[in-house]
């Protein structure tokens, strides 16, 4: 997509290197429009990357975010790993910071059943804890939205 821009010399193409970045990130920021204004939230997430990249999230049933995501399912996202400050001891314009980042865009899809919520939740829990096989009581799922971003375009960079 033409909307995603990273410096060409920093772009990563190797799926294994991109996956390494995703594996190290525990927070993903989702940007959307809420009440006709930009709105961004950091959220814990999980992922699945087969033919498509999916990012999985959960939240309560109400709130500004939920209303915005249901009104307009197109979002963008960003995750990063901050590195060390460079250029120390030199002039101000030589200072920079090493980092790895993934930015992209896609469409929100909400889980439609408790079975789907459990399947999607497992991606979150596996990424956050390294474990699967968690219990998800129906009473809890009744008060929880589980959603994912079906990623349509993304770029990764490393500096």
Question: Can you give the pLDDT at residue 95?
Answer: 73
pLDDT tops 70 at residue 6:
no
- The pTM of this model reads 0.88
51-93 residue pLDDT tens: 899 999 999 888 888 889 988 899 999 999 986 777 778 888 7
Tokens of 58: 């959960």
30 phi and psi, to 5 degrees?
Answer: -110, 130
Question: Can you give the pLDDT at residue 11?
Answer: 76
How many Cα atoms occupy the beta-carbon half-sphere of 66 within 13 Å? 12
CA dihedral angle for residue 9, residue 14, residue 16, residue 19, rounded to 10 degrees: 60
Question: Can you give the pLDDT at residue 2?
Answer: 47
Question: Can you give the pLDDT at residue 78?
Answer: 97
Q: Is 5 helix (H, G, I), strand (E, B) or coil?
A: coil
104-128 residue pLDDT tens: 999 999 999 999 999 999 999 999 9
Q: Residue 102, Cα to own-chain centre: how many angstroms?
A: 9
What percentage of the chain exceeds 70 in pLDDT?
Answer: 91
Average pLDDT, the chain: 89
Do 144 and 113 touch, CB atoms closer than 8 A? no
Taking the C-alpha atoms of residue 68 and residue 39, their distance in angstroms, rounded to an integer, is 9
């Amino acid at each position: 997509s033409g909307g995603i821009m990273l410096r060409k010399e920093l772009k990563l193409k190797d799926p294994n290197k991109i996956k390494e970045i995703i594996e190290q990130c525990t927070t993903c920021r989702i940007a959307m429009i809420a009440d006709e204004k930009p709105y961004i939230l950091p959220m814990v997430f999980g992922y699945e990357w087969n033919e498509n990249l999916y990012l999985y999230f959960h939240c309560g049933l109400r709130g500004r975010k939920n209303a915005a995501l249901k009104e307009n399912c197109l979002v963008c996202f960003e995750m990063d790993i901050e590195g060390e400050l460079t250029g120390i001891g030199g002039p101000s314009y030589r200072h920079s910071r090493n980092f790895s980042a993934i930015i992209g865009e896609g469409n929100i899809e909400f889980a439609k059943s408790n079975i789907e919520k459990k399947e999607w939740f497992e991606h979150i829990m596996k990424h956050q804890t390294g474990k699967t096989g968690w219990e998800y009581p129906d009473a809890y799922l009744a008060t929880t939205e589980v959603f994912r971003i079906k990623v349509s375009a993304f770029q990764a960079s490393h500096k």
